[in-house]
Amino acid sequence: MTLPTSDKVLELLYDRPEGFFGLAELAAAAGLDRKRLGAAIAAMRDDGYELESSPAHGLRLVRPVKLNARLIERDLGTRRVGRNVICFDEVDSTNDVAWDSSRQAGCDGLVVLAEFQRKGRGRFGREWLSPPRENILMSVLLADDSALLAHDALTIAAGLAVAEGVEASCGLACELKWPNDVLLDGAKTAGVLVELKGSAGRRHVVIGIGINASASPPADKVDARATCLADRLGHPAERIEVARCVLRRLDERVYLIEKRELAELHTAWLARCGMLNQRVAVLAGGARHVGRVLDVSPLEGLVLCTDDGRTLHFPAKSSTLA
């Protein structure tokens, strides 16, 4: 595949995270003369990429880098997730863009990212707030005609993929909170919103993922403590690398869910949540249920032994911890 010249230059600069590229070296590596290199650099700046020029050292791409579909999808090595990636500066909601694309042939595995959402949504109709260019706002569209992708399984798989992806890319240890929260030191840093439409024969799933990379929502706009990766790292995270790691993990989990191999998902999730046998309060259908957690299962959701001795199942879609 021949890349547009500015994409080629972007890739070369991105792949040298530690330093500058001499202009002569960059032109040679991109196969461009100096005039066309100058045009490619100008096009990148127009497109919003921040480049630092040094007369002595050449050119450097300032990190973290604006989201770029090609940088996310190249050599991703996944089966389905990330087959196609599109990045927008601004949308209403990446989940909505994914849903719009579900009418198109070959949409399976599409990943939609945006630098800003005008109407980002969280669970239970809540707003998902994120300032422009700071965080990861992404949605994965999957065709699920055989209806094998259960809502509970996808919710916990996506949370786990985020936790593992953050760990792999940033070295930060994440915990999970039922059903869809990813926490760092007890503060929420990411959330997952799984939506399903259609029924067996023609069904699609959209997995929306919001990760606070460099900015947390204002404390007065959320009901739980929030944090972001940069606060824990002491420097900004490279969102492209975080997104790639999450997509790889999600792809593996989706594959296993379809094959009904759920044992590892089950144990891996439990190992990160510390909820087994804990006494919790669950909110579901306007009621509050208190009891001991017997299980969190990919197909049955949260299983609670209530204080009055009943065993209740709470699906991810309609329950939350108090």
Contact positions toward ligand BTN, by CB under 6 A? 93-95, 117, 120-123, 126, 128, 137-139, 180, 191-193, 208-210
Assess contact for 242 and 136: CB atoms under 8 A. Answer: yes
Rounded Cα distance between 155 and 143, Å, is: 16
CB of 276 to ligand BTN, least distance (A): 22
Q: Which is nearer to ligand BTN, 68 or 93 (CB)?
A: 93
Q: For ligand BTN, which residue has the nearest CB? A: 191
CB of 297 to ligand BTN, least distance (A): 21
Tokens (6 digits) for 299: 């197909």
Contacts of 170 (CB under 8 A, 6+ apart): 229, 232, 233, 237, 242
**Pair type for strands 110-114 and 84-88:** parallel
Beta bridge partners of 60: 52
Q: Which is nearer to ligand BTN, 5 or 139 (CB)?
A: 139
CB of 192 to ligand BTN, least distance (A): 6
Q: Which is nearer to ligand BTN, 5 or 135 (CB)?
A: 135
DSSP class of residue 3 equals P
Q: Which is nearer to ligand BTN, 12 or 86 (CB)?
A: 86
CB of 83 to ligand BTN, least distance (A): 19
Contacts of 321 (CB under 8 A, 6+ apart): 177, 178, 280, 281, 282, 283
Rounded Cα distance between 240 and 68, Å, is: 8
Assess contact for 237 and 169: CB atoms under 8 A. Answer: yes
Q: Which is nearer to ligand BTN, 26 or 207 (CB)?
A: 207
Q: Which is nearer to ligand BTN, 29 or 183 (CB)?
A: 183
CB of 142 to ligand BTN, least distance (A): 14
CB of 206 to ligand BTN, least distance (A): 8
Q: Which is nearer to ligand BTN, 93 or 216 (CB)?
A: 93
CB of 181 to ligand BTN, least distance (A): 6
Helix ranges, the chain (H): 5-14, 23-30, 34-46, 69-73, 94-101, 151-170, 229-233, 239-258, 263-273
CB of 89 to ligand BTN, least distance (A): 15
Rounded Cα distance between 292 and 219, Å, is: 30
Tokens (6 digits) for 304: 């609670």
Q: Which is nearer to ligand BTN, 27 or 140 (CB)?
A: 140
Measured in Å, how far apart are the chain's first and last C-alpha atoms? 52
Rounded Cα distance between 146 and 257, Å, is: 12
